[in-house]
Structure 1
Amino acid sequence: MAKIGFLGLGLMGRGMAACLLKAGHEVTVWNRSLDKCDALAALGASVAHNPAGAAKEADMVISMVADDGASEQVWMAEDGALSAAKPGMMVVECSTISHVHVTRLAEAAKAHGVHYIDCPVLGPPASAASGSLVLLVGTDADVLARARPVLEVLSESILHFGAVGTGTSFKLINNMLGAVHVAAIAEATHLAHKLNLDPDTLVAAVESGPCASRHTVRMIRAMAHNKLSDQAGLAIGLREKDTRYCMAMAKAHETGLSIGETAYGWYKEALSSVAEEDDSAMLEVITKHNGFVPEA
């Protein structure tokens, strides 16, 4: 069994860390708010008071934090995990961060003599807790082979895209595509409400139609009835960040994303009112923008 440091115990991180403990790994956890470590400590985790403490003696350190700033802090600060890294340690960044930051972090890892694994994930908190995430990996094949026994505990599928940065490239594209789906289904639902379409029939039509996907189906089941989804998904604020990172990546590669930019505009507008809510809150933003709020 491996010695693993785990940084960040939000909705996703605490489920992932719990899976590693249940699989028999020796896990040391750290979170900015230390009280979030209590439940993992009850499962047998050790608790570190800073990221360096979680990395000390670890074979692998995994991070699941919110954004570039948080990632930089847990890895590259004076008390960050890299400051305590032993040669050959595996550094696994599961956070959704920018492509630019991946490059910077991978270079810092190399300078410390450790192996960087670009490893954002697909799946909701329930999948994190059940060990059924999809991992989007960018790293050398031999490094992935070493890490695979641990990563398999967290996942139902490991997709190796290639070199460092490729996993994050796809994750940002995927989350931008999700923003397009959500904005489109919210606009469509708003129009359906104005046209007095029966909510249950609307759901059935979308579910059985050619535009049905896991994402649009989850959204329409909530939006048709003018409520938030009862399945926890990505918060509006996090998807805004991910889509913004994707826009920057596209610009750096001289590629226009006009549809993505339109969807991003809705997410940017949503930040002031529903940043902490699930994607399904986008309907509220669009209806208020258009001056029409349907009856509950």
Structure 2
Amino acid sequence: MAHLHTPAQHAVPFSRPATPGHVAQHLGFYGLGAMGYFMARNLAKTRSTHAAAGPLLVYNRSVGKCEQLQKELGTDKVQIAKSPEELVQECDIIFTSLASDAVVKSVYEQFAAALKAKPPTKNKILVEMSTIYPSLAGELDTLLSEIPHTHLVTGPVFGPPAAADAGTLICILAGEYRAKKEVAHILVPGVGRKVMDLGGNLEKAPIFKLIGNSMILGSLEILSEALTLSEKTGIGSGTTYELIKELLPAPAFINYGSKMVTDSFDGLKGFAIDGGLKDANHVRRLVTEYNAPMPAVDAAHGHLLTARAIHQEQTKRGEQAFDVLDWSAMVAGTRVAAGMDAFSNSQPAKVVKEG
């Protein structure tokens, strides 16, 4: 008789981890930013399906986000660590979702010091989910290599905060096989809808993440140029957006196209422009290292800088519409180059649309 598989099983490229006797993992999460908050929340909500031991232990540099999560789910699902050292010593599997390479390195140095001071006596898995430059993964591995029973998995994710909220991210894993098995079955279902395995080389998952983000950056550039031209010719960006939905109904085109057409550039509800610039810089460094030019990313990088520069000047004058810009605001670069207002699509078209 054929075995029936759920969609979640098909989405995980590993068999379930062997469980001789009762195995319960104590889970921890560091970093409750725009993505991390939702991922941690979904882990805490679905922990009972993963043989998790007790509540999810969380830590964030500003404790307010931890308190918010605990209030949302209750103390039976979320507990707050007093320090990174407590988090890494108390938990069996620790997920980190952090803002920059410098922060990631600093946090893992704290982890390593704590684990060297109190070496673990059973398996411990650290899952680094941030968007980092690939060579940093090797540095983290070296940092942790002398600590017994400790494994590093690189695990970046694809999807905006809305996908993190819905638990439909695509999770990328690289590292030691058995560790990946444990992590994959914790992430799906709940945090993600699919896991992709990039093998044992820890640098491969961060490389793949940057390749994916290069495609998103290129999509943003194409949208920016086409929607700006639509306004200049009198077609109107709204009309072109209707065509996008019919001709190119990809999530990136639909979601970011909508933001550009409606001037919805609130980075607190999306992906902040500083994060976009960090990713663009990582991609440009990667293509330089591998001699694989990406002109679209170069153009996107320039337009991100233009948008940020204009926003900073507006902020100095107290004229900014948003405290933090979404990276879709890079359309400001093509608009300004075309003589239009940076963050407003309401400027009259140069050509009158025929009736």
TM-score, L = length of structure 1: 0.90
Equivalent residues in 2 for 1:55-204, closer than 5 Å: 55-77=88-110, 82=115, 86-87=120-121, 88-113=123-148, 114-152=150-188, 153-163=190-200, 164-204=202-242
Is the contact made by 1:95 and 1:120 (CA closer than 8 Å) also made in structure 2?
yes
Residue aligned with 1:9, SS: coil
Corresponding residue of 2:9:
none
The TM-score with structure 2 as length reference comes to: 0.76
CA contact (8 A) 1:50 1:80 kept: no
User: Partner letter of residue 244 of structure 1?
Assistant: N
Q: Distance in 1 between matches of 2:31 and 2:267?
A: 24
Distance 1:81 1:8 in 2: 18
1:187/1:295 CA distance change after superposition, 3 Å: same
Q: For 2:281 and 2:305, locate their aligned partners in 1 and report how far apart those are by CA, in whole Å.
A: 9
Which runs of no fewer than 5 residues in structure 2 stay unpaired? Answer: 1-23, 313-323, 348-355
Tell whether 2:340 aligns with 1:292: yes
CA distance in structure 1 between the aligned counterparts of 2:311 and 2:196, rounded to whole angstroms: 33
Q: CA–CA distance in 1 between the matches of 2:164 and 2:62?
A: 20
Greater mean deviation of Cα atoms: 96-105 or 264-273: 264-273
Q: Is the 8 A contact 1:97 1:168 kept in 2?
A: yes
Shift in alpha-carbon separation, 1:185–1:269, aligned structure 2, 3 A: same
Q: Report SS of the residue matched to 1:112.
A: coil
2:277 touches 2:304 (CA, 8 Å); kept in 1?
yes
Render the CA deviation track for 1:259-282: whole Å, top value 9, x for unaligned. Answer: 322222222333334583223212
SS across alignment from 1:77: helix
AA matched with 1:155: G
8 Å contact 2:58–2:79 — kept in the other structure? yes
Q: How many pairs align?
A: 295
Which one is further off, 88-97 or 246-255?
246-255
User: In 2, Cα distance between the equivalents of 1:231 and 1:219?
Assistant: 15
Shift of 1:106: 1.8
Cα displacement (A) at 1:212: 4.0
**Which of 239, 244, 257 is residue 206 of structure 1 equivalent to?**
244
Structure 1, 149-158 or 56-65: larger mean CA deviation? 149-158
Contact 1:76-1:82 within 8 A present in 2 as well:
no
- Alpha-carbon separation, structure 2, partners of 1:56 and 1:78: 8
Contact 1:124 1:232 in 2 (8 A): no
Deviation track 1:120-149 (CA, whole Å, cap 9, x = no partner) reads 001122322332211011113222112233
1:63-85 superposed Cα distances (whole Å, 9 cap, x missing partner): 00111011112211378665566
Q: Is the radius of gyration larger for structure 1 or structure 2?
A: 2
Change (3 A) 1:274 1:111: farther
CA contact (8 A) 1:199 1:225 kept: no
CA contact (8 A) 2:267 2:327 kept: no
Structure 1 residue runs of 5 or longer lacking an equivalent are: none
One-letter amino acid matched to 1:115: H
Q: Is the 8 A contact 2:303 2:331 kept in 1?
A: no
Shift in Å at residue 95 of structure 1? 0.6
Distance 1:230 1:248 in 2: 25
Q: Secondary structure at the match of 1:61?
A: strand
Identity of aligned residues (%): 23
Q: Does 1:2 align with 2:35?
A: no
2:68 maps to amino acid: A
Distance, in Å, in 2 between the alignment partners of 1:158 and 1:96 is 16
Instruction: Tell which deviates more after alignment, 98-107 or 221-230.
Output: 221-230
